[in-house]
Amino acid sequence: MSDPAELLRTRGIQVTAQRLAVLRVVASQPHTTADAVAEAVRAEIGAISLQSVYDALAVLVSEGLIRRIQPARSPARFENRVGDNHHHLICRVCGRVVDVDCAVGSAPCLTAADSSGYEIDEAEVIYWGRCADCAPLSPPNRKNNDG
């Protein structure tokens, strides 16, 4: 049952052209920003306010249909790969984001060395570096100081 409209309906969310378009855009352009979604949706269905894009994204995120990632010094990004076990690799220079499978394997890596009494529900991993295009063009700007 991966029909988008059906996905919405079964969750009691009204099916609207805007929401379907937003969902479609996020699916076709993973790691896209709210702004970019607005533009793409406009190209598809004519008009949508930026606020409505934020609304639609918020609804989809809260229902777990899409995921929001918010890397430092970048607007929030959205992707429709949810419920699987993957992380992100981000280029410090051009900001490009790519998916990587979890190094630990397919089991969620939810076990910290010492959880300090926290009940952990997500491990968010971002690998920072420079992508194949940017690496030769600029010097490394950070020492390896984190593991």
Partner DNA sequence: TAAAAATAATGGAATAACTCCAGAATTTGA
Partner DNA sequence: TCAAATTCTGGAGTTATTCCATTATTTTTA
Which residues here bind its own copies, judged by CB under 8 A?
Answer: 64, 67-70, 72-73, 76, 82-87, 89, 91-92, 98, 100-104, 106-132, 135, 140, 142-147
CB count within 10 Å of CB 129 equals 13
Per CB under 7 A, does 44 bind DNA? Answer: no
The nearer residue to DNA, 5 or 110, going by C-beta atoms, is: 5
**Cβ-Cβ contacts under 8 Å for 69 (sequence gap 6 or more):** 31, 76, 77, 78, 79, 88, 97, 124
Per the rule left: phi > 0, alpha: psi between -120 and 50, beta: everything else, 83 is: left
Q: Footprint of DNA on residues 46-85 (CB under 7 A)?
A: 47-52, 54-56, 58-59, 70, 73-76
CB of 144: closest distance to DNA in angstroms?
23
Could you tell me how far CA 66 lies from the centroid of its own chain?
7
Binding positions for DNA, rule: CB under 7 A: 13-19, 33-35, 47-52, 54-56, 58-59, 70, 73-76
